[in-house]
Amino acid sequence: MTILVTAASGQLGRLVLDSLLARGVDPTTVRAGARTPSALDAYAAQGVDVVRLDYSDPASVEDAVAGVDRVLLISGSEVGQRVEQHRTVVDAAAAAAVSQLVYTSAPKADTADFVLAPEHKATEEIIVASGAPATILRNNWYHENYAQTLATARETGVLATNAGSGRVASAARADYAEAAAVVLTTDGHLGRVYELGGDEPWDFAVLATTLGEVVGRDVTLRQLSADEHRALLESVGLDAGTAGFVVAMEDGISRGVLGDPDGSLSRLIGRPTTPLVDGLRALV
């Protein structure tokens, strides 16, 4: 069995490679696709088959998929281009008659109204239409997404948000990577949609307290309206697009889109998910 990991030079992709190898998968049966293959020289040295794979280059995708049994499609990062980029991988996987296509999606992608959902929903629909045997991993937020928040809390002692009392079931990126490795190397996952997330959803009051514990100072929670938060973010140097994304994401959080995973992450990896405090400490 040969496994292809796309976007393998990214933060999640590398962790998936690490998890596969830690599970005893023969490196020669792992193919790692990256836009810049030299970024994965350390894995090539271990015997991993490193190939060029650029979502915007269909020929590179077809070459990477050829001869593999299972494909992990890690969602792209180029917002606005992802649907067509993902379609290229799905089409290639379907044409190659792979035995499993695994896709890293977003929470409640088919039903929730929030900024991350549309491109993931469209990709899931493309996968269904392709007929490829598939597993959907709807990854919740990563602890690591709060690296800048941690730095700001250390500097200012303030956590500003428009998320209200909304909760986030975040987990460490490595937890999600391990789940992907499990799904790629064990049976019983075809046709499944997993709402993955941390065991202990938290709100921003808990986040403020936890940030304070990690940085060693009191962190005050400042609840703002969406417009106030956007203005604040732009005043400290964020461009309008990034500020708008943060505000829209926290609006989704306020409406519960990240608050209730189905418990499958810890079941898949066979252990509790990484606590928020440990994930934040790892960023220090």
The Cα 180–Cα 72 span in angstroms is 8
**Confidence class of residue 262 from pLDDT cuts 50, 70 and 90?**
confident
pLDDT > 90? residue 42 = yes
- Given this model, what pLDDT does residue 31 score? 98
The single-letter code of the amino acid at 83 is V
The single-letter code of the amino acid at 220 is T
pLDDT > 90? residue 220 = yes
CATH number of the 3-139 domain: 3.40.50.720
pLDDT averaged over the chain?
96
pLDDT > 80? residue 47 = yes
State the architecture of 141-170+197-260+274-284 in CATH terms. Alpha-Beta Complex (3.90)
- Given this model, what pLDDT does residue 116 score? 84
* CATH code 3.40.50.720 region(s) in the chain: 3-139
Range scoring the smallest mean pLDDT among 32-36, 178-182, 257-261: 257-261
**Confidence class of residue 261 from pLDDT cuts 50, 70 and 90?**
confident
Percent of the chain whose predicted confidence (pLDDT) is above 90: 92
pLDDT > 80? residue 20 = yes
Other C-beta atoms closer than 10 Å to the C-beta of 177 total 26
Task: For 50-82, write each residue's pLDDT tens digit.
Answer: 999 999 999 999 999 999 999 999 999 887 788
Q: What is the mean pLDDT of residues 246-269?
A: 93
* CATH code 3.90.25.10 region(s) in the chain: 141-170+197-260+274-284
Closest-CA residue to 258 (of 124, 110, 137, 141): 141
pTM to 2 decimal places: 0.96
Tell me if 54 sits within 8 A of 162, measured CB to CB.
Answer: no
Q: What is the mean pLDDT of residues 262-281?
A: 96
- Given this model, what pLDDT does residue 115 score? 83
Percent of the chain whose predicted confidence (pLDDT) is above 70: 100
**3-class SS at 137?**
strand
Q: What angle do CA 251, 80, 181 make, to 5 degrees?
A: 80
**Confidence class of residue 248 from pLDDT cuts 50, 70 and 90?**
very high
- Given this model, what pLDDT does residue 246 score? 92
Task: For 95-127, write each residue's pLDDT tens digit.
Answer: 999 999 999 999 999 998 888 899 999 999 999
Query: What is the secondary structure of 86-121 as a DSSP string?
Result: HHHHHHHHHHTT-SEEEEEE-TTTTT--STTHHHHH
pLDDT > 90? residue 7 = yes
Task: For 130-189, write each residue's pLDDT tens digit.
Answer: 999 999 999 999 999 999 999 999 999 999 999 999 999 999 999 999 999 999 999 999
Closest-CA residue to 252 (of 105, 117, 79, 76): 117
